[in-house]
Structure 1
C-alpha cells in the first residue's frame, strides 16, 4: 500500500510537470493517456505531439492567455486517472481533458467532469457507453466507438457466410462494451456466438485463449482487444496457424498495430478507420509534418485528438468564455471541417459524426513505400457509420 501511494504521488508530480506556461494567466488543458503501457503506441507520446501541433496551429493562445498543456500517464488504472483529473480540474484549473485511451478511466472521468462542470473529450477511449447510458452534457467522443467499429464489420462477415463467432475479449470496460455491441449485431444479422474468453490487460501468452478459439470451430475469431495485446495475440495466432481455417476479425485496429505486426502477419485484416494518412493530398501533407517530428505516420486516434483540440479552442474563442456550457454549445453549433473530416458534427449525446472507411491491410507485394499499409474497401456515410441517436439509452437532446 505504501509503495502504491508513493507511485501515485510520483504520477501526480509528473502530471503537473512541464507545462507550456504556468500561472493564473494561462489557459489550461490536459492530455491524459497510456504513455508507457500496452496502449502507448496507439496514443501515448504521439498524441501529446499532436496536441502540441494543434496548439501551435491555433496560435498558442486563447481568450488573451497562453495555452498551458498538462500531460499525464494514467497507467490504465482508474484510481490513478481520477486522482490526476481531480488535481487538474481542482488545483491546476484545467478547463478540458483530452484523449484518455482506457474506457474504464474514461467512464470515471466522465462523471467527474460533469460534477466539476468541466469538459472531457475522448479521442481514444472507445466504450459505446460514453455516448449511451453514461452520456454527459460535458463529454464528447471524437474518434470511433465500439458500436461503429464492431457492427459494420460483423454485418459484413455474416453477408459473406461467416456466421459463427468466438470472442477473445479484454477483461475490462472496453472489451465488455465491444463484445456486447458486436454480439447484438451478430444476433440481429442471423449469426451465432459459440463461445468467449476474457483476457487480462497486458497479457503476454494468449495460447490458452487461442486453443479454446480453435477448438470452438467458429468460423470467425473476434479479437475484442487492441494495442500491444492485439499484436501479441495475432502473432501467436499466426504461429498456431488459425487462419485461413478461421477468419481473424479485429474490430479495433490502428495503423500503429499494423506497423507493429508487419504485413506478413497483418495482411488481409479488414477493419474500420476514421482517417488514413494516404487518403488525399491534404492528409499526406499533414502526415508528413507529423512524421518530421515523430519519425512515423499518425493513426486516426492521434489525428482525432488534433481535430478535437482545434475545434474546442475555436469554440472557446467563439463563445468568448471558458464556461463549459457555452463552449459545448459552440462546439455543437459549428461544423467540423479540417484534416480529420470534411463534414463532422457534434451530436447532442456527445457523439461526433463523420464519414468512415472500411479498410483492408495490403500484402507485402502490394505495399510500395514505407507506411503504405491500407487500402480503402468502402466509404461508410456518417448516418450509417454510427449508432442512431437515442438507441443507446442517452436522453440528452440539443437545447
Structure 2
C-alpha cells in the first residue's frame, strides 16, 4: 500500500581527529493528505519538517534524519494501523502533526504503549493534556481551550451575549463547543443551543437555518478546514450576517481565508498562534516555505511542525541519542523558543504554552497584497491563553 513518502536527509559528521558515531532518527509526519484538512497540514507539513531538519543543520551535527509521511484519512483505524506499522516495522522514533482529534488520541495511546514520542501540532482536543494525557505526548501548538478563550471572550465583550453552535460531530468539535460554552457563560453570556453535523460535511443549510431561527447574536462554528469554509460560504449565501448575526469561526487557518476570499471572510475574528506576516522571523520563514510549496503561505500547523521538529532535534543533539526518556526530559529542560512561535515552555501535563493572537480578517480594500489577510487585535499571554495545568485533569499532574 502506497501510504508513505520518504525524504532522506543524511550525512556523516566529521569531527576533529576522527569520525563521530552518527545518530539515526526517523520522523513520521502523519496527517490528512487528501481531505478537509489537507491544505492546513498535508504536504505542507512535510515541507516544514524538511526545512526544520535542514535549518537545524542535522547532517552537519551527525544526526541522520529520515522523514516519512502518510495520509490517515481522518480515520482513527487508519491512523492506528499506520502508527503501529511505523513503530513496529519501520523504526519511526517520533510522530508529528496528526490533525483530527480522534486520530490524535489513538496515536497518543499507541505511542505510550510503544514508548515512542508524539509531538502533536494538528489536533485541538484538550483531552490530550487532560484525562487522556500521556508522558510520551507533547501537545505543541494550540487546543480548544486557547481557541475558545481568545475568540469567545472577545466576541462576548463586543456584545455577542447569546450563542448557538454548529459543531463537527467528533472529539475535536465536542471539545471546542464545550470549551467555548464555558467561556461564554463565564463571561456572562448564554448558550441557546447547538446542532451537530457529520464529519466531514457538505450541506450545512439545515444546520444554518436552525442557528438562524435561534436568534442568537453569534453562531459559533465548532469545526475546521473544509467544513468551516463550506459553512461560512453557505451562511453568506443565506444572508445570515447581513441579517445581524455574527459568525465566530473558532478554528480557521489562513488557507481557509484564502479559499473564502476577503469579500466573504472580512470581519471574522479568530485566534491563532502564528501568522506569516507577524514579524521579520515569520516573514523570512514564510518566503522560503512559499518557494517550496507552490507560493502558498504557511499555516499555523506548518509553523508548528517546523517548531516541534526543531525542538526534538535539539534534544537529540543534547542527549547524543534517541532514548525516549532522555529525549522527553531534555525537551522539557531546553527553552522552547523559536522565531515562529516565540518563547514557551512545556508543562507537566505535556501542554506546550506560548502567546496566542487575536486577529480580525481585513476588508478587501485594507489588504496590501496576496495573503495579507489579518490585522492583529490583541496578544494573549501564554499564561492566560491556555488552561491552568492544575485544572487540566491530567493524572500526571500532582
TM-score by length of 2: 0.94
> What corresponds to 1:285 in structure 2?
284
2:38 alignment partner in structure 1: 40
Contact between 1:134 and 1:394, CA under 8 Å: does it hold in 2? yes
Q: How does 1:34-73 map to 2 (within 5 A)?
A: 34-61=32-59, 64-73=62-71
Aligned to 1:249: 248
1:205 equivalent in structure 2? 203
Matched, 1:276 2:264: no
**8 A contact 1:63–1:320 mirrored in 2:** no
State the 1:161 CA deviation. 2.4
Matches within 5 A, 1:361-376: 361-376=361-376
Q: Does 1:84 align with 2:72?
A: no
Q: What residue in structure 1 maps to residue 26 of structure 2? A: 28
Structure 1 residue 303, shift from structure 2 partner: 0.5
Equivalent position of 1:298 in the other structure: 298
| Corresponding residue for residue 97 of structure 1 | 95
SS of residue in 2 equivalent to 1:365: helix
**1:15-67 residue CA offsets vs partner (Å, 9 max, x unmatched):** 3x534169x98421100000010000111111111011111112244984521
Judge conservation of contact 1:129–1:135 (CA < 8 Å) in 2: yes
Distance 1:311 1:363, change over 3 A: same
Deviations, residues 256-303 of structure 1 (Å, cap 9, x unaligned): 111011000000001111111111122111110011111111111110
Report how far residue 185 of structure 1 moved: 1.4
The answer on whether the counterparts of 1:63 and 1:321 sit within 8 Å (CA) in structure 2 is: no
Change (3 A) 1:313 1:65: closer
Take 2:9 and 2:292, find their aligned partners in 1: how far apart are those partners? 21
Moved more, 276-285 or 63-72: 63-72
Separation in 2 of the partners of 1:21 and 1:395?
38
Structure 2 gap ranges (5+): 11-21
Confirm or deny: 8 A CA contact 1:221 1:249 kept in the other structure: yes
CA pair 37-62 structure 1, distance change in 2 beyond 3 A: farther
> 2:336 aligns to what SS in structure 1?
coil
Contact 2:23 2:322 in 1 (8 A): no
Worse-matched range after superposition: 101-110 or 184-193:
184-193
Q: 1:65 to 1:384 in 2, by over 3 A?
A: closer
Number of residue pairs aligned between Structure 1 and Structure 2: 385
Please identify which structure carries the higher strand content.
Answer: 2
On the 8 A contact 1:123/1:301 being kept in 2, the answer is yes
CA–CA distance in structure 2, aligned partners of residues 280 and 104 of structure 1: 34
CA RMSD of aligned residues (A): 1.6
Residue matched to 1:7: none
Structure 1 length normalisation: TM-score?
0.93
Contact kept? 1:76, 1:102, Cα under 8 Å:
yes
Per-residue CA deviations over 1:195-254 (Å, capped at 9, x if unaligned) read: 111111121111010111101111110000110111111000000010041110011011
CA contact (8 A) 1:62 1:316 kept: no
Q: CA deviation at 1:395?
A: 3.0
Deviations 1:49-105 (A, max 9, x none): 101111111224498452111100000010000000001111111111000011000
Q: Counterpart of 2:124?
A: 126
Larger mean Cα displacement after TM superposition, 293-302 or 54-63? 54-63
SS in 2 for 1:387: coil
1: CA distance between counterparts of 2:287 and 2:150?
30
SS class of match (2:390): coil
Where do 5+ consecutive residues of structure 1 fail to align?
Answer: 1-9
For 1:71 and 1:159, how far apart are their aligned partners in 2?
A: 43
| Cα distance in 2, alignment partners of residues 397 and 321 from structure 1 | 27
For residues 199 and 308 of structure 1, the distance between their equivalents in structure 2, rounded to whole angstroms, comes to 32
Query: 1:167–1:195: 8 Å Cα contact kept in structure 2?
Result: yes
What CA deviation, in whole Å up to 9, does each residue of 1:286-345 have, x standing for no partner? 110011111111111110110000000111110122111111111111112212223111
